[in-house]
Structure 1
Amino acid sequence: MTTRILAATLTEPWPGDPHDEADLPAGDRPGSGEVGTTDAELHQRLVAAVAAVDAPDAVFAVSRHGRRTLHGGGSAPPTSTPRHNLRYELGSASKTFTGLALAQLIRRGLLSGGEPAAACLDPARRTEASPVTLAHLLTHTSGLPGLPADFYVRALPAWHTAPYARYPAGRVVEAFLRHRPGHRPGTRWRYSNFGVAVLGHAVAAATGTPWEDLLTEHVLRPLALGDTALRARGPDTDAVGHGKDGRTPVPAFDAGGFQAAGAVRATPHDLLTFLEAHLDPSGSALPGALRSVRTPVLRRGPGHVHVHTMAWFRHPTDAGPMYFHGGATLGQQAFLGFRPDTGTALAALCTRRFRAHDPFVTIAYELLAEL
């Protein structure tokens, strides 16, 4: 057994680990925060990061104690809308929004997180002895694979254009209700887009409200994220993704039935607003939910050194924890992260499909670890 579950269901507040990071080996810590970096020095570091990413479009946006510094550039010709005002596809980084939405629904007493997902989707279905709950789906401990077993067959005809669009909501739900986990839910961790997609449909069914409306009502509107949405609008509003070569444009991402797992689009400024709320929950419209998504809920791997919250990967530094999540679509990449110890948030975005030995995530991660 390599996963240590710190909370079996999503209670409010979700209990953390009393030892917190005391048992994490020092060798796993990426480094201490840099002190005294000036605005000019930070700007130069962002310029260097954008150049090193070498994408058609890239934006690195940093907030330190509420003061924002952004830099954008790239090999593609500039568009009529400045790069830092475009909306970018977040891919799996959308799960940070999903986790916060569920935390807020729990905070408001609309859900507990312990609801069996199958019962939400099919109330007439007999509940199993060890059902997959909403908590299991969110924390990747449901036992579901990364994608449904028949996803690749169905997606193959549109593999380079819109593979997820070939797998709509009904198929996601049907595949989940057919699936039989190979082990008891809540005992092992396996990252699953499938599971978080099911979560969105289960929550929508349980509340009688479409996922897009739930996200808007419980996260986007309270945090004043007016430039964040689940649907594409057009080239004057949305950044255009590119293939691995950095030259071939790809269509806007269609998440199909995987909205909760990867459909969010947002501007760099909206992403900084989102991350700043995590840095200072007490000053936001969602203080309880934001504190919940910062709390460790499971550890995994040898020595249980990999720490997860409801919504974030959590790594230690010498000064305090660093929270982050990455994501990718067919033609774009995103990295979101924040450090309460230094009051720093980072949103990094680029318009090139992930490729082997791609430097984007490493550059963004190391920048956040050093700020």
Structure 2
Amino acid sequence: MTGRTTPWPGDPHAGEDSRADDDCLDTDEARTPGGPSAGTGTDGDELHQRLESAVDAADAPDVVFAVSRYGRRTIHCGGTAPPPPTPRQDLRYELGSASKTFTGLLLAQLIRRGLLSGGEPATACLDPARRTDAAPVTLAHLLTHTSGLPTLPAGFFARGLPAWRTNPYARYPAARVIDAFLRHRPRHRPGTRWRYSNFGVAVLGHAVAAATGRAWEDLLTEHVLRPLALSDTALRARGPDTDAAGHGKDGRTPVPAFDAGGFQAAGAVRATPHDLLTFLEAHLDPSGSPLAGALWSVRTPVLRRGLGHRHVHTVAWFRHPTDAGPMYFHGGATLGQQAFLGFRPDTGTALAALCTRRFRAGDPFVSTAYAFLAKE
């Protein structure tokens, strides 16, 4: 057993270039009363310098580092490419796997409202006529990467190969994801091993949609986006005036807008920096939020793994210790963009870092964003 699961609601098993000169620097007034002020005086100068260094270190065509300290927002933009017609801080960026933080919050809210328990067997949701296994894969297993499913379904690479540099996920639609899951036979009992799985979270989305009789996009809008007033967050691209354009590893080759195919729940969300800060600020201070119960629940550790159980996971976030308290974060990448979302309740800080270049070996973006938040 490579990991140890702890009880989760509903789980029956309890388990690079010259820079453009248009760098934006946008500072808002404090939005959360009672917290220490930020962005003023010496502290503000230091924050701006750190943001400028982080944007430069990311080495991408378009970069945004958006920070909230006790509700006061500071956004710094830059990049190696000429500025786009729409200001960088107003564009929507592809989150890739960081979309799973929205998925986790949605499932937590559906459970809080009594619409689901989390312990539903995924097979029973997707094919009610099929006999349920004695140890079924549940919605909780799928979300916590303990389902026993591989990272991607069998046949994904062969199917996606003709579009490998453009949109391989688009060639694997919902019906194929569901069929691959129903055919899969896990090698290990669900809930006993941790293995990060885009496949599993994609199946979760389809199982939840089937169990509720609602489309995934509608569920996310009704139960997360609308209550949190995330009007600039969506699952589909709208066009160059609204969505940031991705680039390949070289930072120059354009990449088409990401199409998640049947993997919407695993990586389809795109959002503006300000919407992402709103999302993260809700996690920092759930009090008074219409999703307060769900927001508190997605902070709770449910799984520990690795040597000495040092790796801690909640239903939506990776959790690492700092000198002052826990830090919650999740990264993501598509074929042409990257994202890093994180928050620290101990310092009242949230970070949404975004860039428009495909991940590459030794990439500085994630490490820069992680270090920035860890030092806040």
What TM-score do the two structures reach when normalised by structure 2? Answer: 0.92
1:338 aligns with 2:338: no
Q: Residues of 2 paired with 1:318 and 1:111: CA distance?
A: 37
- 2:152 aligned to which of 139, 147, 151: 147
State how far apart, in whole Å, the 2-side matches of 1:363 and 1:230 are: 27
**Match in the other structure for 2:122:** 117
- 1:135 CA drift (Å): 0.1
Alignment deviations for residues 248-301 of structure 1 (CA, whole Å, 9 cap, x no partner) = 000000000000000000000000000000000113221000000000001000
Q: Residue 48 in 1 paired to residue 57 in 2?
A: no
Relative contact order higher in (CA < 8 Å, ≥ 6 apart): 1
Distance apart, 1:131 and its partner CA:
0.2
1:60 matched to 2:65:
yes
Deviation per CA, 1:337-370: give whole Å up to 9, x if none: 0000000000000000000000000000000000
| 2:260 alignment partner AA | A
* 1:8/1:186 contact within 8 Å kept: no
Structure 1 residue runs of 5 or longer lacking an equivalent are 17-33
Determine which of 188, 191, 198 is the counterpart of 1:193.
198
Matching of residue 314 in structure 1 with residue 319 in structure 2: yes
| 1:20-58 Cα shifts (integer Å, max 9, x gaps) | xxxxxxxxxxxxxx9x97112101111110011110000
Tell me how far 1:8 sits from its aligned partner. 5.1
Q: Which amino acid aligns with 2:50?
A: R
SS in 1 for 2:327: strand
> Which of 45-54 and 107-116 deviates more?
45-54
Deviations 1:114-140 (A, max 9, x none): 000000000001010000000000000
> Where in structure 2 are the equivalents of 1:171-250 lying within 5 Å?
171-250=176-255
Q: Deviations over 1:80-102 (max 9, x none)?
A: 11000000000000000000000
Partner of 2:2: 2
Q: Please give the alpha-carbon distance, in whole angstroms, between the structure 1 residues aligned to 2:80 and 2:365.
A: 15
- 8 A contact 1:2–1:304 mirrored in 2: no
CA-atom RMSD in angstroms: 1.6
**CA positional deviation for 1:4:** 1.2
| Letter of the 2:3 counterpart | T
After the TM superposition, which residues 250-265 of structure 1 pair with which residues of structure 2 at under 5 Å, given as runs?
A: 250-265=255-270
Equivalent of 2:88, from 83, 92, 95? 83
Match of 2:109 in 1: 104
2:257 maps to amino acid? A
- Contact kept, 8 Å, 1:222 with 1:286, in 2: the verdict is yes
Shift of 1:2: 2.5
Q: Secondary structure at the match of 1:209?
A: coil
For structure 2, the residue ranges without an aligned partner over 5 or more in a row are 16-37
Superposition map of 1:271-282 within 5 A: 271-282=276-287
Distance across 2 between alignment mates of 1:4 and 1:204: 29
- 1:281 counterpart SS class: coil
What is the alpha-carbon distance in structure 2 between the residues aligned to residue 323 and residue 253 of structure 1?
Answer: 26
Letter in 1 for 2:107: L
Distance in 2 of aligned mates of 1:7 and 1:351: 38
Question: Does the Cα contact within 8 Å between 1:335 and 1:347 map onto a contact in 2?
Answer: yes
From 300, 303, 308, give the equivalent of 2:305. 300
What CA distance in whole angstroms lies between the structure 2 residues aligned with 1:308 and 1:77?
Answer: 39
Deviation for aligned residue 1:10? 3.6
Q: Give structure 1 regions of 4+ aligned residues with deviation exceeding 3 angstroms.
A: 8-11
Further displaced range: 71-80 or 286-295: 71-80
